[in-house]
Amino acid sequence: MIIEVTDLKKNFGRVQALKGVNLTVDKGRIVGFIGPNGAGKSTTIRLLLGLLRKDGGKAKIFGLDCYQDAVEIHKRMSYVPGDVNLWPNLTGGEVIDLFIDMQGEDPKSSRKEELIKRFDFDPSRKCRTYSKGNRQKVALIAAFSVESELYILDEPTSGLDPLMEREFQALVKEQKALGKTVLLSSHILSEVEQICDDVAIIRQGEIIESGSIKDLRHLTRTQFIVEAVEDLDFSECQGVYDVVKDHDKWYFQVDHRHIAGVLSYLGNYQVTKLETKEPTLEDLFMRHYEGDAKGGV
């Protein structure tokens, strides 16, 4: 186990930012950490980095205490925040070298040059002239230039364009192939879905769902789109939800365990077209909002 968080609590004054977060990240996994704005993702990550003091519970990385042993832990991991601010009168290249050097590696012998090319980054300019995306590239290049066992990434692509985001995803997958572990926070679910093995969903300071993406999908429904000659009647059929008819197309969702039943039931009709869609994490997410109009903060 690389990251082990049990019942982690954090208050800011009277605001309970974390109400008892449980999270485990195993070696070699890419874990998506998702939740709406203000859910507590960054707070959890700052606690993991030892930047904040916890008000209860346990937070460990590599079996070491996140606050007391921060230095030891940081020697073996890299962090990229969503909002990267840099020193305005240093160049991007200087900052990258500084970070790599601080990680105890030689800025010249690292993968730096390759990453600079991949991210199409100009390291010779002063940081004050960089856009948000470019500042983020500085942090990403520095983080992936060193040999870390763990990458903690807090919405690291919020400023990148789609091309660069794809580059980033490729990079994360390469890390997985090398046996590295990644914790990737995001509020964009599709991004997490494409590259993550596991997800943990946080909302209002609590983990409401976690597990492998495959397992979680079983909790969800598959979207069906059916065209048939006759009118369909689902009153007899179990596990079918949200039936909508649009011209001659039928849209509805089916619980995973009832798929077989629905398919055989559809055999009774003259179906001219059948489409199914895998559930997205959005659907998964929406399920938790049903019956709770408050949502995030």
Partner 1 sequence: MSRQPFYQVGKLLRFYIKREYVKLFTWLTGLVVTTVAVALALSGIYQSDQERQMMAETMENPAMKALIGRGFGIDHYTNGAMFSHEMLLMTMIVVAVMSILLVNRLTRQDEESQQLELLLALPIGRLAPSLSAIALLVITNVLLAITTTVSLTLLQIESINFLGSLSYGLALASSGIFFGAVTLLTAQLSNNQRGAMMLSYLVLGMSYIVRAVGDAGDLWLSFLSPLGILQETQAFVNNYFWPQLIILIFSTVIMVFSMRLREKRDLGSGLLADKKGKNKASGFLKTTPGFILSLQKVPLLSWAVAMLLIGLSYGSVLGDLELFLTENEIIQQIIGSANDVSLTEQFIAIILKVMAIISTIPMLMVFHRLKSEEAKGRLDHLLARPISRVRVYSWYVIISLISSIVLLSLGIFSLAGAGVYVLDTSIDFWTLVQANLVYLPAMWVVLSIMAVLYGLIGKLESLAWLYLLFSFMTIYLGDLLEFPDWLMAVSPFYWVPELPVEVFNVWPLITLTVIAGGLITLGSLGFIVRDVGQS
Binding interface with partner 1 (CB under 8 A): 13, 46, 49-53, 67-72, 74-75, 78-79, 81, 83-87, 89-90, 98-99, 101-104, 128, 139
CA distance 92 to 27: 32
Q: What is the DSSP letter of 65?
A: E
Q: Which of 25, 30, 42, 285 binds ligand ADP (CB under 6 A)?
A: 42
Smallest gap from residue 43 Cβ to ligand ADP (A): 3
Smallest gap from residue 57 Cβ to partner 1 (A): 16
Nearer to ligand ADP, 34 or 284 (CB): 34
* Residue 17 is a binding residue for ligand ADP (CB under 6 A): yes
Burial class of 233 by CB neighbour count within 10 A (0 to 12, 13 to 18, 19+): exposed
Q: What is the DSSP letter of 126?
A: B
* Residue 43 is a binding residue for ligand ADP (CB under 6 A): yes
The residue at minimum Cβ distance from Mg ion is 42
CA distance 38 to 69: 27
Smallest gap from residue 125 Cβ to Mg ion (A): 27
Smallest gap from residue 229 Cβ to ligand ADP (A): 49
Smallest gap from residue 65 Cβ to ligand ADP (A): 21
- Quick count: other Cβ atoms within 10 Å of Cβ 99? 19
Taking CB under 5 A as the criterion, which residues in 95-114 touch Mg ion?
none
Taking CB under 6 A as the criterion, which residues in 61-80 touch ligand ADP?
none
Burial 281-292 (b: 16+ CB within 10 A, else e): bebbbeeeeeee
Strands 3-12 and 56-61: antiparallel
Smallest gap from residue 93 Cβ to Mg ion (A): 28
Strand partners, 79: 152
Smallest gap from residue 148 Cβ to ligand ADP (A): 22
Nearer to ligand ADP, 40 or 279 (CB): 40
* Residue 42 is a binding residue for Mg ion (CB under 5 A): yes
CA distance 144 to 168: 10
Nearer to ligand ADP, 36 or 133 (CB): 36
Q: What is the DSSP letter of 236?
A: T
* Residue 203 is a binding residue for ligand ADP (CB under 6 A): no
Q: Hey, CA dihedral for 141, 142, 146, 149, is it positive or negative? A: negative
Contacts of 264 (CB under 8 A, 6+ apart): none
* Residue 123 is a binding residue for ligand ADP (CB under 6 A): no
Burial class of 219 by CB neighbour count within 10 A (0 to 12, 13 to 18, 19+): middle
Smallest gap from residue 5 Cβ to partner 1 (A): 17
Nearer to Mg ion, 42 or 134 (CB): 42
Nearer to ligand ADP, 43 or 91 (CB): 43
CA distance 97 to 90: 11
Residue with the two structure tokens 């346990």? 58
* Residue 29 is a binding residue for ligand ADP (CB under 6 A): no
Q: What is the DSSP letter of 250?
A: E
CA distance 257 to 236: 16
* Residue 41 is a binding residue for ligand ADP (CB under 6 A): yes
Site residues (CB under 5 A) for Mg ion? 41-42
Interface residues with ligand ADP (CB under 6 A) are: 12, 15, 17, 35, 37-43, 297
